[in-house]
Structure 1
Amino acid sequence: MKYAIVIPDGCADEPQESLGGKTPLQAAKTPAMDAIARAGVVGRANNVPLHLPAGSDVANLSLFGYDPNVYFTGRAPLEAAAQGIQLGPEDWAIRCNLVTVQDQTMKSFTAGHISSEEAKALLISAQKELGADNLEFVPGVSYRNLLLFRGAKVKAPFSKETRATPPHDLTDKSVANDLPSGPGSEILNSLMGFSRPLFANHPVNQRRLAAGKLPATNLWLWGLGKTPSLTPFFELHQKRGKMITAVDLLRGLAALIGWDRIEVPGATGYLDTNYAAKGQYAIDALDSTDVICVHVEATDEASHEGRVDAKIAALEAIDEQIVAPLHAALKQYGDYRILVSPDHPTPCRTKTHSHGFVPLAICGTGVTADAATTYDEVAAAASPLSFEEGWKMMAHFLGARD
């Protein structure tokens, strides 16, 4: 049996007045996803318990079959794993965004989608001026970077009670009341504060301003935690897996559950990602794995920008260039199953992740078709197939029989 998973990140949404009361998923032309719905079943899953943050970290743990109440320790450790960073038992990884905060308002949680080269230059300056033997700034991809607190000699003051707001939750909002709080927060706030004068006249920002781009005004620290101990996916499900993604969070999760990672040329983690190449690389990987997963960040990025049109365009590209060819290739193998599901909702109205159910569609061997004819939030809400604990869905997808 071959299995394929397609994750259009954050594609679940609300009805839009501009779309005549339809959601982006309803408005988009997605014949391949709808074909899966007609051939199989549509349902829904709640991947993020209300007491945990509504982020891709918690949601994707659930989606892959890991109870977040047991396994979730924070976002940054997953991203550290993507870079092959080894964390000791007393080490903490902290997500380190480059952001644009002006007049105490989060203008951009990506610093205008700053380039990786520019980000690296800023992080080098941060390490030189703000780093220490136990504080290490690690450049990542674009605005997504890390800070490591090595706690072997100086024990980290952080705990599960340390609170830090994801910057994407604050788009166009005041940041004044959402600075880190709780144990160790004074370290985070101090570093964030000192980064402002450090970056103010930095050559990177001078060049960005001259080019009419947003500057990276400061660091924003959040998502901290220790490395989780995840049971290998093969041990849980007796299936081997491979991951295609442009996002370190998913790369890290793949590494921690024992999946191979496939790097695709032109995969950017943004709206300009190479959809067709992702689809082709997924097809090429079918011979060498049991499960191939294609994660696409573009739909989530469109939501963070509040761009309904861009979200629809991304959904249609995913449908045409990934879902359709991958489903056709799977059929050549005989026994197969395919799953389409986002991790969490990201409404264009709020421009941030939210709690709540996401729609899923499954078809293939052993799946008896239900009455659904389209893949969208409304069809999912009408279905009796519902996973209140979203982490139980993966076992159903991989092993359930009618």
Structure 2
Amino acid sequence: MRLTLLIPELIWPEPGDAETFAGLACPALATLLARGRRADAARSPNTAATFDAAIARAFGLDRAVPYAALRLLGEGLDPGEQLWACADPVHLRFHQERLILADGTRIEISAAEAEALTGELNRFFGDVGEFRAAAPERWYLRLSAAADFETPPLSAMAGRRVDRQLPEEGRTAWLRKLLNEAQMLLHGHAVNEARADAGRMTVNSLWLWGPGALPRGLQSDWSAVCSDHPLARGMARCAGVPAHAAPAGFAALEKQVSGDGKVLVTLESLLRAVQYEDAEAWRDGLAALERDWFAPLVAAIRRGRVSLDLRASTIYGELGWEVGRGELWRFWQRPQPLQAVAQALAEGGSA
């Protein structure tokens, strides 16, 4: 098996945070990072090292990716040939004179709340497009007119400061107007009034990103994609690649996918922990990955059963390590503590 493992936020983003790195026992991961051959992804100058962008690059897409249409396809819905944008529900709040964004998973929106809010948006904006809640935390806007704009994926903004929600360009004036009116509509909705009365975060804005139509002729050499992320599943479906749920560990993957094919697996357990600066959750997630993935992978690589391309979208860039049986024999490459790896990456060196 030729396995590509895509894990966002594999390295904690604060290299000087000794408390978070203290006592981490990840010998298998340390071995993979020390002896693997570095193969960082080359990116276009304005393309961020986000999880969504890493998934897109795994399918050969780099610029102007129609994330919304592809993600909608991964939800099991048909985007057709229409234009779509992600219109994800968010909560914006001021904290120390900065505007901070919380995404839908943090807000914990119910399906009934999502239906009520998108229904109200559709009643008000019926002539502009159609809002659709494929999941409580993932909404879409079918566009009645072309909207060519670039904003970061929501995964790059969750838990972080927001400077602006849409580019200040003439061609996006109608979308900025829509967004402003949507914010006013959401503010006065009964769902948000009830949430505010209960001391819960409200849905007070939308994050618009990833516009476009479903691409034609998307091709891929993956033999299988295993992911719980609708974007990865949508890209697999668009390219005609079998898609499966993300397995619980490497042992489960071997039962799920057999043969010598090229397999893509995405694992998201560390992403939210980094987005919302939850060091304890990140440590727990890394320990689980060490137990369920890295340790059995090192054993399988030594036996020649698998070759690994480990990829991680992080604040340090989209990092990559290629590890086969031969790489594990590079005993002169001694494993380093994960904090030393992070510090080397922050300084622009090799990990």
TM range, smaller chain: 0.7 to 0.9
Residue of structure 2 aligned with 1:173, choices 146, 161, 166 = 161
For 2:162 and 2:79, the matched residues in 1 are separated by 34
- 2:107–2:202 contact (8 Å) kept in structure 1: no
1:345 counterpart letter in structure 2: T
- 1:33–1:340 contact (8 Å) kept in structure 2: no
- 1:95–1:146 contact (8 Å) kept in structure 2: yes
1:79 aligns with 2:71: yes
- 1:48–1:356 contact (8 Å) kept in structure 2: no
| 1:220–1:284 CA distance, 2 compared to 1 (3 A) | same
1:99 aligns with 2:93: no
- 1:57–1:74 contact (8 Å) kept in structure 2: no
Gaps of 5+ in 1: 151-155, 265-275, 347-354, 385-402
For 1:233 and 1:172, the matched residues in 2 are separated by 33
After TM superposition, give the deviation of residue 319 of structure 1 in Å. Answer: 1.7
Give the corresponding residue for 2:306.
Answer: 336
Give the corresponding residue for 2:334.
Answer: 373
Query: Which secondary structure state, in structure 1, belongs to the residue aligned with residue 107 of structure 2?
Result: coil
Give matches, 1:146-225, under 5 Å: 146-150=140-144, 156-159=145-148, 162-166=149-153, 168-169=156-157, 171=159, 173=161, 175=163, 177-182=164-169, 184-225=171-212
Query: Which secondary structure state, in structure 2, belongs to the residue aligned with residue 340 of structure 1?
Result: strand
For 1:7 and 1:166, the matched residues in 2 are separated by 17
Give the corresponding residue for 1:30.
Answer: 26
1:43 aligns with 2:32: no
Q: Over aligned residues, Cα RMSD in angstroms?
A: 3.5
For 1:313 and 1:28, the matched residues in 2 are separated by 10
For 1:241 and 1:174, the matched residues in 2 are separated by 36
Give the corresponding residue for 2:253.
Answer: 282
Give matches, 1:201-280, under 5 Å: 201-229=188-216, 231-234=218-221, 240-245=223-228, 247-263=229-245, 277=248, 279=250
TM-score under structure 2 length normalisation: 0.80
After TM superposition, give the deviation of residue 183 of structure 1 in Å. Answer: 5.4
After TM superposition, give the deviation of residue 216 of structure 1 in Å. Answer: 0.8
Aligned length: 339
| 1:337–1:289 CA distance, 2 compared to 1 (3 A) | closer
Query: Which secondary structure state, in structure 2, belongs to the residue aligned with residue 17 of structure 1?
Result: coil
For 2:24 and 2:311, the matched residues in 1 are separated by 15
1:11 aligns with 2:10: yes
For 1:248 and 1:4, the matched residues in 2 are separated by 20
**1:93-116 CA distances to partner (integer Å, 9 max, x unpaired)?**
211111112358234233733235
TM-score under structure 1 length normalisation: 0.71
| 1:34–1:163 CA distance, 2 compared to 1 (3 A) | closer
For 2:70 and 2:108, the matched residues in 1 are separated by 22
1:68 aligns with 2:62: yes
Query: Which secondary structure state, in structure 1, belongs to the residue aligned with residue 72 of structure 2?
Result: helix
For 1:52 and 1:127, the matched residues in 2 are separated by 32
For 1:53 and 1:37, the matched residues in 2 are separated by 22
Query: Which secondary structure state, in structure 1, belongs to the residue aligned with residue 214 of structure 2?
Result: coil
| 1:288–1:203 CA distance, 2 compared to 1 (3 A) | farther
For 2:297 and 2:191, the matched residues in 1 are separated by 42
After TM superposition, give the deviation of residue 27 of structure 1 in Å. Answer: 6.3
1:303 aligns with 2:288: no
For 2:158 and 2:308, the matched residues in 1 are separated by 35
For 2:264 and 2:85, the matched residues in 1 are separated by 26
| 1:284–1:131 CA distance, 2 compared to 1 (3 A) | farther
- 1:33–1:319 contact (8 Å) kept in structure 2: yes
For 2:8 and 2:217, the matched residues in 1 are separated by 22
- 1:99–1:220 contact (8 Å) kept in structure 2: yes
Query: Which secondary structure state, in structure 2, belongs to the residue aligned with residue 287 of structure 1?
Result: coil
For 1:280 and 1:369, the matched residues in 2 are separated by 23
**1:269-308 CA distances to partner (integer Å, 9 max, x unpaired)?**
xxxxxxx735554232122772333312222211111233
For 2:85 and 2:46, the matched residues in 1 are separated by 20
Query: Which secondary structure state, in structure 2, belongs to the residue aligned with residue 112 of structure 1?
Result: helix
- 1:205–1:216 contact (8 Å) kept in structure 2: yes
1:356 aligns with 2:317: yes
% identical equivalent positions: 19
**1:291-342 CA distances to partner (integer Å, 9 max, x unpaired)?**
333312222211111233322221221121233345556778x542123221
After TM superposition, give the deviation of residue 126 of structure 1 in Å. Answer: 1.8
Gaps of 5+ in 2: none
